[in-house]
Homo-oligomer: A and B are copies of this chain.
Amino acid sequence: MNLFHSTSFALQHDELDNRGVDWVIHYNFDDLDSAQAADEFRSLIHDLESAHLRTRVRHGYGSSLLVCVRVPRDHLGHMIHQSRIKDWLFGIAHEFPAGDEYTVADPETPAEALRSVYHAVSWHHHLGGAGIIPKHGRWKNVVAAFPLHDPSANAELLRKWSHALTLTAEDLDAIRALYGEKVAFYFAFIHCYSCFLIVPALGGILCWWYLGSYSITFAILNCFWGLVFVEYWKIREADLSLRWNVKGVGVLKVNRVEYVWDKEVRDSVTGEMIKVFPGHKQFLRQLWLIPFATLASLVLGSLIVVAFALEVFISEVYRGPGKGYLEFLPTVLFSLSLPFLSGILTRTASRLTDYENYRTQDQYELAQTAKTFVMHFITAFLPTMLTAFVYVPFGKRIVPLVDLSWMGDVVLDPARLRIDASRLQKEVIYLSAMAQVLSFGEEVVLPYVKRVLWQKWRDYNQQRTVTRRHRSLSVQSDQLLIDPPDEADFLARIRNESEADEYSVHDETLEMCVQFGYLALFGVAWPLVPLGFLINNWLELRGDFFKLSLECRRPPPIRTDSIGPSLQGLEVLTWMGTLSTAAIVYLYRDGTPEVHLWSFLLTILAAEWAYLAARFAVRTGLHKIVTHPMRHEAAKRYAVRKTFLGSFVRRANGSPKGKPRVRFQDHVSVYTSATDLPTREESVLHDEQDDAPAEARFWSGPSNETADAGVRMIKALCTSSDGSISQKKMGKDA
């Protein structure tokens, strides 16, 4: 883990201080002339300052400026308090934030403070913000707006994790404190998933050693494990959302700028105006997802099928000239056309999501991510599925059907056709070992190397420019562009951060879901798959944090209460995984596959029923066993209310004791409307004194009389029981 150490400790002490800068706005005027840029910049600063923000400007790389924004502490504390009041009003928090309308609150975490800064910069004017949304509308030249990293906290966390085997609850809280809940949920997810991987990893080693591949034992273990993991994660997610006070936080989010509403309605209960776009309309629009998914499946599916068929054909059937070169053809074709096709599909998906008209940015992103997931799942899983369920079992029958007469006298020999039955296993091994290493390198190491080199080159270039500038320009503008020596390191860091990539939590989550999918769908083909994934994830978790803290801009601390649509993806994958595992075991267990359609279908059907039954049992069982999150929430609410009740009763204790304050009506109308049951009115009784005569008579007499009266009756009844009613026990007492 020296990589992490060396980087974090190379930082100078001076670099560790953010100089009170809350937010940085990166303004690029490459495409504007100087007068236009000056106007636009003035109005940018005007908007910021009219939102009570302090600003400082420094130049960035190239034709760009960096505006450092600071929210005055009183204003920030006030915003934090307002935000807490809002949380409480909407039922996200249970504890009432004490204070009045002038209270200045202390942030609990850096993320809480930064969230209010984020609101101050990005919210619309009428909500009290500066309305600066990068790359949007008026501010298309604002290329980024981001908070600065906290290098010392990042270094501390990286150092701690490189020593520790596993993350603690406090580590997750620390990520939440630095980067907000959305990022923290991803790390909680990958951590929980990696811990769960230990079970199939160990089981996999045993099964691999004693039973080999395609064993039923490992198949059952793997499917059941996936099911338990997904159901447990749901509970864990709810637990974390309560721990971090973000449960149901979606309702708080402000409307998107692009949101179009049908009508404004006054809520009958709260009296607030709500901008309404009817749910059924949105649902009807969402139904367009079906043709979209069909289209995406067809386009991507046919691309994959063609590439696959070509590859098989060239490598196993074709014996003609240029085989050595032609073998690369399918891969090249596939790699060239995939970005083009998925680009078109992504644009279609965006347009569809726009059309679906979501109220908040969160909902919008979730809908868009859901569509991306579908496309990713197709490209990720379809090739291996073709190998598993088409090529190996049916290859012998399908390949000869292709009409090859047009190839004329090319040396082709279908008789020598040899279907490679181990191809599935090879692919799975590649996916679980090589592909993971490669993707880690591609994701973490390569960008790091690239970035270091690029920075070096740019610094060298900049140096040359400055030197040249000394000769060609006026002294005044030159001095303006030279950093003061005590700020130089700090400004270098801001500039680097301003050029860094955005960190996409969705992509990271998606990567983990795809990994889970490989394991659930094809893990049974090679029981060491979970071991490979476990090792990879140990690195991945730390690599992701390395990337987040050193290679990417700090993301705004966004609140959320789950990992989003991935959860549904995981559920679908456990289901598909069960069917796929059953099918693979059926087809491959006894060497060469020999398919009887009816027994194959019966296997699938049995697997599906077992899955449904197991899911019911696991869900019920886990909810019985892991009860503490829900109970904890209830207990918290109870404690808050109990405290309130205590203070309330103490305050009210001056009132006269023992006297009823609310009058008691003996009869209450069953219907609340006054028109019903008019006859009841007359019989309404108000108090003991007003009892109707019959009632008064019934209840008159001393109150201790009942026992005696009853005993007298018992005797009388026992005496009279020689009559006809009861023949038993008679005479004993008479």
Distance (Å) between the CB of A33 and the closest chain B CB? 4
B57/A699 in contact, CB under 8 A: no
A56/B706 in contact, CB under 8 A: yes
B711/A41 in contact, CB under 8 A: yes
Q: Which residues of B contact A55 (CB under 8 A)?
A: 703, 706
Q: Which of B73, B282, B632 contacts A664 (CB 8 A)?
A: B73
Q: Is A315 an interface residue (CB 8 A)?
A: no
Q: Is A3 an interface residue (CB 8 A)?
A: no
Q: Is A201 an interface residue (CB 8 A)?
A: no
Q: Which of B251, B486, B725 contacts A634 (CB 8 A)?
A: B251
Q: Which residues of B contact A128 (CB under 8 A)?
A: none
Distance (Å) between the CB of A83 and the closest chain B CB? 14
Would A90 and B49 be within 8 Å (CB), given that A671-B174, A717-B481 are in contact?
no
Q: Is A469 an interface residue (CB 8 A)?
A: yes
B85/A481 in contact, CB under 8 A: no
Q: Which residues of B contact A486 (CB under 8 A)?
A: 694, 697
A725/B61 in contact, CB under 8 A: yes
Q: Which residues of B contact A692 (CB under 8 A)?
A: 17
Q: Which residues of B contact A29 (CB under 8 A)?
A: 714
Q: Is A667 an interface residue (CB 8 A)?
A: yes
Interface residues on A, range: 35 or more
Q: Which of B14, B272, B461, B670 contacts A177 (CB 8 A)?
A: B670
Q: Which of B62, B659, B668, B710 contacts A108 (CB 8 A)?
A: B668
B714/A668 in contact, CB under 8 A: no
A33/B732 in contact, CB under 8 A: yes
Q: Which residues of B contact A19 (CB under 8 A)?
A: 694-695, 698-699
A733/B33 in contact, CB under 8 A: yes
Q: Which of B56, B63, B624 contacts A726 (CB 8 A)?
A: B63
Q: Is A660 an interface residue (CB 8 A)?
A: yes
B598/A59 in contact, CB under 8 A: no
CB-CB nearest in chain B for A481: B716
Interface membership of chain A positions 480-510, coded 1 if the CB is closer than 8 angstroms to chain B and 0 otherwise: 1100001100100000000000000000000
A480/B20 in contact, CB under 8 A: no
A41/B73 in contact, CB under 8 A: no
A723/B469 in contact, CB under 8 A: yes
Q: Which residues of B contact A472 (CB under 8 A)?
A: 720, 722-723
Q: Which residues of B contact A604 (CB under 8 A)?
A: 605
Distance (Å) between the CB of A98 and the closest chain B CB? 9
Interface membership of chain A positions 664-708, coded 1 if the CB is closer than 8 angstroms to chain B and 0 otherwise: 111110111100110110010101100110110111000110110
Distance (Å) between the CB of A611 and the closest chain B CB? 11
Q: Which residues of B contact A263 (CB under 8 A)?
A: none
Kindly state the separation between the CA atoms of A83 and B280 in the bound complex, as whole angstroms: 40
Q: Is A206 an interface residue (CB 8 A)?
A: no
Kindly state the separation between the CA atoms of A37 and B734 in the bound complex, as whole angstroms: 13
CB-CB nearest in chain B for A108: B668
B109/A668 in contact, CB under 8 A: yes
Kindly state the separation between the CA atoms of A90 and B636 in the bound complex, as whole angstroms: 10
Kindly state the separation between the CA atoms of A137 and B714 in the bound complex, as whole angstroms: 22
Interface membership of chain A positions 620-654, coded 1 if the CB is closer than 8 angstroms to chain B and 0 otherwise: 11001111000010111111011011001100110
Q: Which of A99-107, A186-194, A321-329, A413-421 contacts B (4 or more CB under 8 A)?
A: A99-107
Q: Is A32 an interface residue (CB 8 A)?
A: yes
Q: Is A450 an interface residue (CB 8 A)?
A: no
Q: Which residues of B contact A732 (CB under 8 A)?
A: 33-34
Q: Tell me the A427-464 residues at the B interface (CB within 8 Å).
A: 461-462, 464
Q: Which residues of B contact A81 (CB under 8 A)?
A: 662
Chain B CB count within 10 A is highest, among A68, A464, A733, for A733
Distance (Å) between the CB of A67 and the closest chain B CB? 7
Q: Which of B103, B597, B726 contacts A662 (CB 8 A)?
A: B103
Q: Is A156 an interface residue (CB 8 A)?
A: yes
Q: Is A477 an interface residue (CB 8 A)?
A: yes
Q: Is A403 an interface residue (CB 8 A)?
A: no
A279/B627 in contact, CB under 8 A: yes
B270/A72 in contact, CB under 8 A: no
Give the 5 A-B CB pairs with smallest separation, nearest first.
A34-B733, A477-B716, A104-B660, A269-B635, A601-B601
- 8 extra A-B contacts, CB within 8 A, seeds A102-B658, A280-B624: A20-B685, A38-B714, A65-B717, A88-B641, A96-B644, A174-B670, A267-B635, A465-B725
